[in-house]
Each structure stands twice: as C-alpha cells, then as structure tokens.
Amino acid sequence: MLKFSPKVFLFDMDGVIFDSMPYHARSWHLAFKSEGIEFSEYAVYLQEGATGSKTVNDVFMAQKGRLATQEEINRIYANKCRNFEQCGEPKPMPVMDKVLELLLANGKTVGLVTGSGQKSLFTTLNKYYPGIFVPERMVTAFDVKKGKPDPEPYLMGLQKCGVSASEAVVVENAPMGVQAAKAAGIFTIAVNTGILDSLCLRDAGADVVFDSVTALLDFLTKSI
C-alpha cells in the first residue's frame, strides 16, 4: 500500500471541526423567512462554504432575478448572525479531536480554511482545540475576496502553510468547499457529517468520501 504522506492538512471549520451546520441552516432559513423569502435548510447545506454576501446574492438571483443591494445583504447577514448567536455555542464535531491528535502525533501540520465570519466561533475554536489552530495558518472570510467555491481561500491556505498543492490534503464537508479545494489542485477528502446525499460531494469532485468522522479516523490510522 502506498504511504499517504502529505505534510499539511487543511480543515474546513463548519460541519468539520464544529457540529455547527444545523445552527447555520436554521439561522439562514429564519433570516430569509423574515424577508418573505423561502430558503430551505437543505439549500443552506448546498450553499455552505460561500461567503454571506454570495449566499444572499445567489438566493436573490434565483428567486428575484436580480442581485441584492448592499443594504439587503447587510441586513440579512446581520440577521443571520444574530440568529446564530442565539442558537448557543456550537459543539465540537465528535471524534475530530482524535483525528487532530493523530495527525499532530505523526508530525503533520494543520491549518484552517473557512468561509465563516462568525467571530464567536474563533473563541470557541480555542476553547475546544487549544493551540491547534493558530492565526498564522488560518484563512477566514476576512482574508479573501471571492470565497469558496473559488480556489482563493485554499490557495491562501497553502501559502500560509508554506507548501504546494501536492504536499497538502483538504478535509471538507460541503460541495462548494470541495470544488474550491479541487480548483486549488489539492487532494480532497470529503466527510459527510450533514444531511446531504453523499453523491453531492462525489459530484463536486472529492477524491474520497467518508460517511463519518470515525471512518476518516480509521482510514488515517491505517494509512499515515
């Protein structure tokens, strides 16, 4: 068996590091509902990884045939963020601490690449994963112009970790995140931690799809 020996693992955050997608799904659904726009929780999962403004614009284009105004984007995104804060603190993704432990014990470097601009999550990150994700190896909504599915966030992640695409692996849970990572030329592991059909992740271009974090841990334990 070939040794699986990337130097760097770039992790997506929502739905990978944190079990936060149910909160995001509900928060977006309610924020659009208060504008009289139907946006299902399943649709939120499909949209995951995009920046807040892209999500608002995509929904407007699909349902109103026009882009949202800056005022509409600001209002809906602020409303979504308020709803999210009210959901309480997201819990860490079960078993992910074991995955990170295993990687670090094997001398791997870990980075974080997220489309999130939720400030509270960064505090929570340090609470549950102290010292693992450092700002020098983190890319957030504040760092990028385009966001996933554009390769920009993952290209920046590679740059921050000082490696080329062939030396890294991405761990993602969302179709747009997988597209972004593949567009950056990186081997991409998808872990289906949510409500989507796993086929969405395969179709997005994932090299491997696992149905649980436990399955990912088993694979890594045998192969790194």
**Which residues in this chain contact Mg ion in the complex, by CB under 5 A?**
12, 14-15, 173-174
Q: Which residue has the closest beta carbon to Mg ion?
A: 15
Nearer to Mg ion, 12 or 152 (CB): 12
Helices (H) and strands (E) counted in the chain, each on its own, are: 10, 6
Smallest separation, CB 2 to Mg ion (Å): 28
Listed residue (177, 184, 202, 140) closest to 48, CA to CA: 177
Q: How far apart are alpha carbons 100 and 75 in whole angstroms?
A: 37
How buried is residue 10: exposed, middle or buried, by Cβ count under 10 Å (0-12/13-18/19+)? buried
Smallest separation, CB 174 to Mg ion (Å): 4
Helix ranges (H only) for the chain are: 21-33, 41-47, 52-64, 70-86, 96-105, 119-128, 152-161, 175-183, 198-203, 213-223
Nearer to Mg ion, 14 or 19 (CB): 14
Nearer to Mg ion, 11 or 77 (CB): 11
Nearer to Mg ion, 12 or 19 (CB): 12
Smallest separation, CB 5 to Mg ion (Å): 25
Smallest separation, CB 184 to Mg ion (Å): 16
